[in-house]
Amino acid sequence: MTRWLRAISRSVLLVTAGVCGVQAQAVPATIVLRGDALARARAMVAAGDPAVRAAFVALRRSADRELLAPVVAVTDKRTLLPPSGDRHDYFSLSPYWWPDPAKPDGLPYVRRDGEVNPQSKQDLDRPRLGAMVDNVNALSLAWYFTGDDRYAVRAGRQLRAWFLDDSTRMTPHLHFSQLVRGNPAERGSGIIDTHNFIDVIDASLLLEGSAGWSARDAEGLRHWMRAYLGWLRDSPNGRHEREAKNNHGSWYAAQTATYALFVGDSGLARAIVGEATTRIGSQIRPDGSQPAELERTRSMHYSGFNADALSVLAEVGRHVGVDLWHFEAPAGGSLRGAIDHVAEYAWHPADWPGQQIDAVDQVLLVDLLRRAQAALGAPVYAAALAKCPPAMVAEARSALLYP
């Protein structure tokens, strides 16, 4: 028996146990991820379906690494503290700002769009947040697909450390995100740092009922997100980001809509998703291009990134009766048009007509195309995926999310 068949045989037993017991919901009540698609993928994993084989093996490999990863928290800061001096306050530096070569001390820093200053990765919280999200994403999905409690228990530890435990929890605000050295002003644009919290919410929903995530934990996370949503909506930082005309505004809307639905305010979620029709009309041309993203030095990345945010809003819209997937603005712009435009170059990004100073992460484009294919069923997405590197497409986690 091959190594993969041995692994899948064990997983069939675990999945069957999960389905028959209380460990995993048959159709999870996720928000952005589609519960019915996850349930279908889990059945395919249990049956040994080759269509999800490579993605499942890759997921297990990632989850097994995450079992051994250290628990991270915003309180891990040692050398760089936020202006408040409180380790519980999230602190990051804006990645595209560098010392001014014309100034002896380099201050204030100047912007070099698309060029990441390594200082933004040193003892700051954005890398920790990324590690936290990677951890709970891989482990929650691995638990859902296998029923192995080790994954759920470890994911629960990480979630509690970041959001719930008094000694390590993050305070629910972003006063000190993406600051710029030499400029003491707070920056609403730093709110984009937490766009991955959207993934955390679905991960926590997958874990509900597991040995690693109690009803008390779930309510604690909702309480935290309710406070954070309040800060996002009421603070000058949040109001500034809401008005952003590019991907920043789209991700602000995606975050607030998801958090509102998570804490039970479907009316607010519906209103936020509904406002996105204006955003689509202003951000996307009839040909699918996005002028605000084309101004960037990483224009293909940001075109896909903005379309991704709007697709998250469209998935939230499914729960509140607002259809963004099929919406077309009076001037002709649409979410579908934006994704179609990116899909045209997904398999050969070097031919993208705009500026792109670094390599495009094709896996992110594959994930976007699969989400669009699940929502729209258009052959253009399957055709684009068929032209991308086969191993990358087969191993991408989105093969399990949108089978």
Three-point CA angle 252, 135, 384, nearest 5°: 65
Helices marked H in 114-214:
125-146, 149-159, 197-207
Does 300 lie in the same domain as 207?
no
CB atoms within 10 A of CB 132: 25
CATH number for the domain including 347? 1.50.10.100
Does 249 lie in the same domain as 231?
no
- Report the alpha-carbon distance of residue 170 to residue 133 in Å, rounded: 14
Per-position DSSP letters for 372-386, written without gaps between them: HHHHH--HHHHHHHH
In this structure, is residue 11 part of a structural domain? no
pLDDT digits (tens, 9 = 90+) for 230-275: 999 999 999 999 999 999 999 999 999 999 999 999 999 999 999 9
In this structure, is residue 253 part of a structural domain? yes
pLDDT at residue 26, as a whole number: 87
What average pLDDT does range 120-140 have in this prediction?
A: 97
DSSP label of 161: I
The answer to whether 361 and 392 are in contact (CB under 8 A) is: no
What average pLDDT does range 115-125 have in this prediction?
A: 96
What average pLDDT does range 147-170 have in this prediction?
A: 98
Taken in order 94, 95, 100, 104, the sign of the CA dihedral is: positive
**Confidence at 390, pLDDT banded by 50, 70, 90:** very high
Token pair listed for 252: 């602000």
> Cis omega before residue 330 (within 30°)?
no
Does 162 lie in the same domain as 149?
yes
Does 182 lie in the same domain as 265?
no
pLDDT at residue 47, as a whole number: 97
In this structure, is residue 344 part of a structural domain? yes
In this structure, is residue 169 part of a structural domain? yes
Q: Which residues contact 106 (CB under 8 A, 6 or more apart)?
A: 98, 99, 100, 181, 182
Domain boundary among 222, 243, 264: 243
Does 140 lie in the same domain as 150?
yes
Domain boundary among 191, 215, 243: 243
Does 257 lie in the same domain as 128?
no
**Confidence at 3, pLDDT banded by 50, 70, 90:** very low
pLDDT digits (tens, 9 = 90+) for 279-309: 999 999 999 999 999 999 999 999 999 999 9
Containing 111, the helix (H) or strand (E) segment is strand 110-111
Does 378 lie in the same domain as 304?
yes
pLDDT digits (tens, 9 = 90+) for 324-356: 999 999 999 999 999 999 999 999 999 999 999
pLDDT at residue 341, as a whole number: 98
In this structure, is residue 145 part of a structural domain? yes
The answer to whether 279 and 253 are in contact (CB under 8 A) is: yes
Q: How many domains does the chain have?
A: 2
The answer to whether 313 and 324 are in contact (CB under 8 A) is: yes
pLDDT at residue 222, as a whole number: 98
What does pTM read for this prediction?
0.94
Closest residue by Cα to residue 76 from 89, 65, 63, 93 = 89
Does 219 lie in the same domain as 255?
no
In this structure, is residue 65 part of a structural domain? no
- Report the alpha-carbon distance of residue 362 to residue 356 in Å, rounded: 13
Question: For a pLDDT cut of 90, what percent of the chain falls above it?
Answer: 94
Average pLDDT in the chain:
94
In this structure, is residue 203 part of a structural domain? yes
Does 286 lie in the same domain as 333?
yes
Does 323 lie in the same domain as 390?
yes
Token pair listed for 399: 């093969």
Half-sphere exposure of 206 (CA within 13 A, CB side): 34
Instruction: Tell me the residue range of the domain where 351 lies.
Output: 245-394
In this structure, is residue 22 part of a structural domain? no
Does 267 lie in the same domain as 233?
no
Does 149 lie in the same domain as 92?
yes
pLDDT digits (tens, 9 = 90+) for 9-26: 344 334 444 433 345 678
Domain boundary among 200, 225, 243: 243
